[in-house]
Chains A and B, each alone.
Chain A
Amino acid sequence: MTEQGVRWTAEQVLALAPDAASRKAGSKLGAAGPWSGAGCSAVGAVWGLCKGSGSKPYQTVVDTAGPAYKCTCPSRKFPCKHALGLLLLWAADAAAVPAGADAPDWAEKWLESRGARAEARQRKDEAKPADEEAARRRAAARAARVTAGAEELEQRLADLVRGGMAAAEHAGYGLWEETARRMVDAQAPGLAGRVRELGAIPGSGPGWPMRLLEESALTHLLDRAWLGIDRLPEPLAATVRTRVGLPASARGPAVRDRWLVLAQYDTSDGKLTTRRIWLYGRESGRTALLLSFGAAGRAPDLALAVGVVLDAELVRYPGAGQLRAELGERFAAPVPGDAPPPGGSVGEALAAYGLALRDDPWLDSWPVTLRDVVPVPAAEGWQLADADGGAALPVTGSAVARPGLWRLAAVSGGAPVTVFGECGHRGFTPLAAWSPDAPGTVPLT
């Protein structure tokens, strides 16, 4: 087995599936039956021929380093069930997908063209003429539109508080939706998103007035920050621009580290699927967030298997208290990770969130690792309690509804475990767990 030869687990493969139907269809194809001529290379390419209903078998090839997929089937799902099935077979059966073989011509051709395309893109990026003057004009025009939007939103919030939020319960969603559209017109998607959330709060159950006031006040804070952005220190100004929704690009220095993939999960607003991948740098001790987006029906491009360690460079996005980064060059294939990040107590987790608010007061949560905590079913929901039984964090309501929480309870068995998750004012959302009884990272998403 080469250093490349680490095969993924079935869960890692299934995490790539764009939907439940693909997951199921892919699982069915993850057996030797329909496959022939399968193999994998030392640089992470996997290929095979899958017998379908037609006379000619489908040619499926996957570059696991991307991951990227190519299949001759007509499916519009991406990756298609054949790619998933092939990867499952590769994951489960070293004999059915032997390593070290030469790729057949059709696979080789695609793999080569992929390499060539990547190079071409890089050259193009470097060669892009920098018309700085025009760019500055465009930015100024956009800033003016955002400013108009922020002022309008300020007016809207002041009207809300002047007239009384109690009326908001009856005003319905339409009023907010109109304001959100105005923010989209103002090219401030961050503000638009906040406005939509404000519109949803009155219907969100008991305690809504308090949540509405909190979120209105923080939106107000963001408006004021934008309107006074000239007077803010640059890191905070960058954070404000990001929160308002202006595009930013990763520009920080590249940091090479061995990055442990802590969690990967998707959220969707119906139009866009957002994938979040949390990484922990083994040497730097830093936590980073990769974001990847997919249009409806397509899984976001980037997929990393939970529990592996990547030797790679990350480039940070600007802004104080911002963890987002972009994945740069990868130096080796992923290898299985072992130990969890060092963690702390429940109190330390809340303190970390509190400290992070100094840099970004709009943060809803902060990534933390809890060491030696026990999941506890309590009257109001679940808690993660320090093993000595003193302090505890409530688990967020949305996490309680997910199957991951039961996996966490099962892995713990009432004994202390290490848990990674997002800790914030709504509570703690567990995303990954490690038990002293069993090796490896247990994904909870």
Chain B
Amino acid sequence: MTWPWEDLLTSALLGTDRRPLPAPAARISGTGPRRDGGDGHPFGDGHPDGGGRADGRDGLPDGGGRADAGAVGAGAVALDAPVALLDAAAVATVRRRAGLLPAAAAPLPRPAPRDDRAPLPEAAARRLTQLLADRPSAGGGGRRGTAPDLTELLPQWLAAANAYGYRAPAAALPALLDAARARTDLRPQALAFGGPRALWLAASNPEWRFALRGASGGTALPAPDDAEGVRRLWEEGLFAERVALLGAVRAHDPAAALDLLASTWASERAEDRLMFLDSLRTGLSAADEEFLERALSDRSRNVRSTAAELLSALPGSAFAARMAARAASCVGLDHTGRQATIAVEAPHECDAEMQRDGVVPQPPSGRGKRSWWLAQLVEAAPLGLWRERLGWRTPEEIVALPVADDWRGELHAAWCRAAVRQRDAAWSRALLGPASAPPASGPGASSSAALLATLPDGERAEWVAAFIAAHGLSEAFQLLGVCTVPWSGPLGRAVIDALDIARDAGSYPWSFSGVMGLAERCLDPGEADRLGVLTAAYEEGENASPGAGGYWAEAFQRLVATLRLRAAMHTELTPPGR
């Protein structure tokens, strides 16, 4: 005895007391419960009419219910109406389930582009899964134990895998994208490793949209020498695509990028102009001067000051000459005393010409106007100026000159910024001074780090090693951050010795947790064996803080374990046969 599903459902909803089942349909209705959308499981609509290829009724226990249902249907006794309804609904339900048909397929996705990079060696793939599974603990802090911090090793692992040109295992892509979503610093390497398939995947998950925004571009960029493709994307592309395109072209052919930018410059929005202008940092040369000079009269103040900053990195430019003249008029030598002294006469006004050259007239709160102007002039003036201006002295001699009227700090700080901006190693060296000099007399940790970045790798490491040998680790964190990884032998040994000394002094290791973390990531893995002796439990001296010895042993164990792990990571990534 069967009824259309709609009748069953209506009666069940309203109750058979209120809405008895109508007289049964004459023939078996083919419609099972209809899926009218909204329940999220769109199967095919067609249901086989009775029987079909798999008639569910064959399987029903044919003992009690069915006979009752027949009796009830014929007699229409109110008491048994619910049972009749449930019987009929059971038959309809099983029939519908047994007769489900496939849904119509949505349009198939465009396949991911091919990725012909070599697959990861098996051990490296396992390692990746492990690194990706490790999430930084909530709350941070706390005791770190002896086990390596795997999340911190992910950037290195990705860089190494990219250097070998491996393809990411497809199954790892979701975890990789999740990791990159949580940590912006991972994104460039993670997306490069993920390759075209990661971008393909990210396109269908809103949580991974960041991948399409990234500078590496969501869509494939045309080759930088494909003039027509470049032109078309430049004119029609989205902002992010255009930034990526400009960067790619600039890296390939700086002049072509400049032409591209100049062609539409007047019609770009101010924020866009700022970003595009910033792309010119790569491959900056005298050829850009004319364009930048024009940008000095831009409507947007931020564009003007960026143009001025870029021009000040071109010591031969007319801009630099103007700044040099201004700076020279403020700073000179005074021979009247027993010893030559630098005399400073800060500017009295910030005229329209200075403002056009990017000098900001309004000082930040707490600074005097004149010293603010002076600082900007000296920072933007080419450093080569001072040799002639200050009596043909070397940078070292100039830095050593006394400065009248408390201007020394202001003047030296401006020279530091100029040396960084103009990447002038000789001046950086002079301003840094000897590494053994007390840090208080130097330019300060963050300026020192910036100055160090202009020195060649080897010299940088040597200077930091000497600094640590003389002053310990307490002010070395920022300096270590600019050294190339892995640390050179002398630098690594200086850090280890300093840690050993700190332990002997009886302080707790977490006073050095920043340096310890850096050491785990940056020491040459080859140092692990030398470190073995430090991991043993250590006799605490009289002055030691209680329990410090055990914590140090633990910290050194973690350091050694991390170094071994890094060595293993690199071995796993080495292609067989190398």
* A interface with B by C-beta (< 8 Å): 9-11, 14, 23-24, 27-34, 51, 53, 85, 88, 91-93, 154, 157-167, 205-207, 209-211, 213-214, 216-218, 220-221, 224-225, 227-229, 231-232, 236, 240, 346-347, 350-351, 353-355, 357-361, 374, 376-381, 383, 385-387, 389-394, 396-397, 403, 406-407, 409-411, 413-415, 424-427, 435, 437-438, 442
- Report the separation of the CA atoms of residues A165 and B150 in the bound assembly, to the nearest whole angstrom: 55
B81 an interface residue at 8 Å Cβ cutoff? yes
Interface string of B102-126 (1 = CB under 8 A from A): 1111111111100000010001001
A164, A347, A392, A410: residue with the most chain B Cβ atoms closer than 10 Å = A410
Bound Cα distance A419, B304 (Å): 59
B65 contacts A221, CB within 8 Å? yes
Q: Which of B91-99, B325-333, B462-470, B538-546 binds A? A: B91-99
A-B contact pairs, 9 of them (CB 8 A): A209-B12, A220-B89, A228-B64, A357-B98, A396-B41, A406-B173, A413-B112, A425-B97, A442-B171
Could you tell me if B119 and A34 are in contact, using CB atoms closer than 8 angstroms?
no
Query: A416 to chain B: closest CB distance in Å?
Result: 10
Residue of A nearest to B94 (CB): A361
B169-206 toward A: CB 8 Å interface, digit per residue (1/0)? Answer: 11111110000000000000000000001001100110
- Residues of chain A with a CB closer than 8 A to B366's CB: none
Q: Are A224 and B61 in contact (CB under 8 A)?
A: yes
> Is the pair A389, B170 in contact by a Cβ cutoff of 8 Å?
no
Within B136-176, which residues are at the interface with A (CB < 8 Å)?
137, 145-148, 150, 169-175
Tell whether, in the assembled complex, residue B174 and residue A438 are in contact, meaning their CB atoms are under 8 Å apart.
no
CB neighbours of A379 from chain B (8 A): 106
Across the interface, A383 reaches (CB within 8 A) one of B65, B94, B105, B197, namely B105
Q: Is B42 in contact with chain A by the CB < 8 A criterion?
A: yes
List which B1-56 residues lie within 8 A (CB) of chain A. 8-9, 11-19, 33, 35-44, 53-54, 56
Asked if A23 and B133 make an inter-chain contact with CB atoms under 8 angstroms apart, the answer reads: yes
The majority secondary structure among interface residues of chain A is: helix
Contacting pair B63 A414 (CB below 8 A) = no
Is B253 among interface residues, defined by CB-CB distance under 8 A? no
Given contacts A162-B16, A410-B197, contact A227 B64 (CB under 8 A): yes
Q: Name the interface residues of B65-104: CB closer than 8 Å to any CB of A.
A: 65, 81-83, 85-87, 89-90, 92-94, 96-104
B171 & A232 in contact (Cβ 8 Å cutoff): no
Asked if A351 contacts B82 (CB within 8 A), the reply is no
Q: Which residues in B have their C-beta under 8 angstroms from that of A92?
A: 123, 126-127, 130
Number of interface residues of B (CB under 8 A): 96
The answer to whether A413 and B174 touch (CB under 8 A), given A353-B97, A354-B98, A393-B102, is no
Q: Do residues A427 and B41 form an inter-chain contact, with CB atoms below 8 A?
A: yes
Say yes or no for B459: interface residue by CB 8 A criterion.
no
Contact B105 A386 (CB under 8 A): yes
Which stretch of B335-343, B435-443, B558-566 is in the interface?
A: B558-566
B557 interface residue (CB < 8 Å to A) = yes
Known A27-B133, A30-B130: A358·B56 in contact at CB below 8 Å = yes
Are A27 and B126 interface neighbours, CB within 8 A? Answer: no
Docked-complex contact B103 and A391, CB < 8 angstroms: yes
| CB closest chain-A residue, reference B561 | A33
Q: Look across to chain B and name the residue whose beta carbon is closest to the beta carbon of A384.
A: B105
Given A23-B133, A91-B126, A376-B106, check contact A354 B53 (CB 8 Å): yes
Confirm or deny: B225 has a beta carbon within 8 angstroms of a beta carbon on chain A.
Answer: no
Which of B's residues lie within 8 Å of A, judged by CB? 8-9, 11-19, 33, 35-44, 53-54, 56, 58-61, 63-65, 81-83, 85-87, 89-90, 92-94, 96-112, 119, 123, 126-127, 129-130, 133-135, 137, 145-148, 150, 169-175, 197, 200-201, 204-205, 554, 557-558, 560-562, 564-565, 568
Chain A's closest residue to B112 (CB) is A413
Q: Which of A29, A85, A161, A353 contacts B100 (CB 8 A)?
A: A353
**Which of A158, A214, A220, A383 is the one whose CB lies under 8 Å from B103?**
A383
Q: Are A224 and B16 in contact (CB under 8 A)?
A: no
Give B123's nearest chain A residue, CB to CB. Answer: A92
Residues on A with C-beta less than 8 A from B561 are 31-34
Contact check, A407 vs B13: say whether CB atoms are below 8 A apart.
no
Q: A33's closest neighbor in chain B, by CB?
A: B561
Assuming A34-B146, A91-B126, A214-B33, is B41 touching A157 (CB within 8 A)? no
Q: Using a Cβ cutoff of 8 Å, how many contacts connect chains A and B?
A: 301
| Residue from the list A23, A88, A213, A220 in contact with B8, Cβ < 8 A | A213
Contact for A161 among B12, B39, B170, B554, CB less than 8 A? B12
- Tell whether, in the assembled complex, residue B98 and residue A213 are in contact, meaning their CB atoms are under 8 Å apart: no
In the complex, are the beta carbons of B53 and A381 less than 8 A apart?
no
CB neighbours (8 Å) of A360 from chain B are: 59
- When distances are taken between beta carbons in the complex, the residues of chain B under 8 Å from A160 are 82
Closest CB in chain B relative to A229 CB, distance in Å: 8
User: Which residues of chain B come closer than 8 Å to A229, judged between CB atoms?
Assistant: 63
**What chain B residues lie within 8 Å of A53 (beta carbons)?**
145, 554
Other CB < 8 Å A-B pairs besides A32-B564, A225-B61, A392-B102, 5 of them?
A10-B126, A164-B14, A354-B54, A355-B98, A413-B201
* B134, A224: Cβ atoms closer than 8 Å: no
- Cα distance A265–B204 when bound, in Å? 26
CA distance A159 to B145 in the complex (A): 62
Given B12, B17, B85, B109, which contacts A377 in the complex, CB threshold below 8 Å? Answer: B109
Q: How far is the CB of A274 from chain B (nearest CB, A)?
A: 23
Residues of A within 8 A of B93 (CB): 213-214, 217-218
A161 touches B108 (CB 8 A): no
Contacts of A354 in B (CB 8 A): 53-54, 56, 97-100
- Find out whether the CB atom of B170 lies under 8 angstroms from the CB atom of A435: yes
B147 to chain A: closest residue by CB: A28
User: Is the Cβ of A394 less than 8 Å from the Cβ of B97?
Assistant: no
B59 surroundings in chain A (CB, below 8 A): 236, 357-361
* Contact, CB under 8 Å: A406 / B99: no
Assess the A438–B170 pair: CB atoms within 8 A.
yes
Out of B65, B150, B204, B557, which one reaches A27, CB within 8 Å?
B150
Bound complex: CA A437 to CA B561 (Å):
35
Q: Is the CB of A161 within 8 A of B82?
A: yes
Known: A28-B148, A51-B557, A158-B82. A207 touches B61 (CB 8 A): no
Residue of A nearest to B148 (CB): A31
For A383, list chain B residues within 8 Å (CB).
103, 105-106
The one of B82, B83, B147 in contact with A34, judged by C-beta atoms closer than 8 angstroms, is B147
A389 to B104, CA, bound (A): 8
User: What chain B residues lie within 8 Å of A424 (beta carbons)?
Assistant: 97
The answer to whether B200 touches A164, judged by C-beta atoms less than 8 angstroms apart, is: no
Q: Which residues of B contact A165 (CB under 8 A)?
A: 12-13, 15
Complexed CA–CA distance, A209 and B94 (Å): 17
Q: How long is the Cα–Cα vector from A27 to B33 in the complex, in angstroms?
A: 49
* CB-defined contacts of B63 to chain A, threshold 8 Å: 224-225, 228-229, 231-232
B87 touches which of A30, A162, A220 (Cβ 8 Å): A220
In the complex the two chains form, what is the Cα distance from A211 to B150 in whole Å?
Answer: 47
> Which chain A residue has the least Cβ–Cβ distance from B83?
A158
CA distance A391 to B43 in the complex (A): 10
Q: A220 vs B86: C-alpha distance in the bound complex, in angstroms?
A: 7
Beyond A391-B103, A406-B205, A407-B171, whether A381 also contacts B40 by CB under 8 A is: yes
Instruction: Give chain B nearest CB distance to A56 CB in angstroms.
Output: 13
From B44, B103, B135, contact of A24 by CB (8 A)? B135
Q: Taking A32-B564, A164-B18 as contacts, is the C-beta distance between A385 and B97 under 8 angstroms?
A: no
* Contact yes or no, B109 A376, CB < 8 A: yes
**Least Cβ–Cβ distance between B177 and chain A, in angstroms:** 8
Contact A414-B174, Cβ < 8 Å, known A161-B85, A390-B105: no
A340 CB → nearest B CB, Å? 15
A228→B61 contact, CB < 8 A: yes
CB closest residue in chain B, given A154: B83
- Given A164-B18, A214-B89, A392-B104, A224–B148 Cβ distance below 8 Å? no
Q: Is A209 touching B102 in the complex (CB atoms < 8 A)?
A: no
CB neighbours of B558 from chain A (8 A):
33
Within the complex, the shortest CB–CB distance from A398 to chain B, in Å, comes to 10
Residues of A within 8 A of B568 (CB): 32, 93
B103 touches A394 (CB 8 A): yes
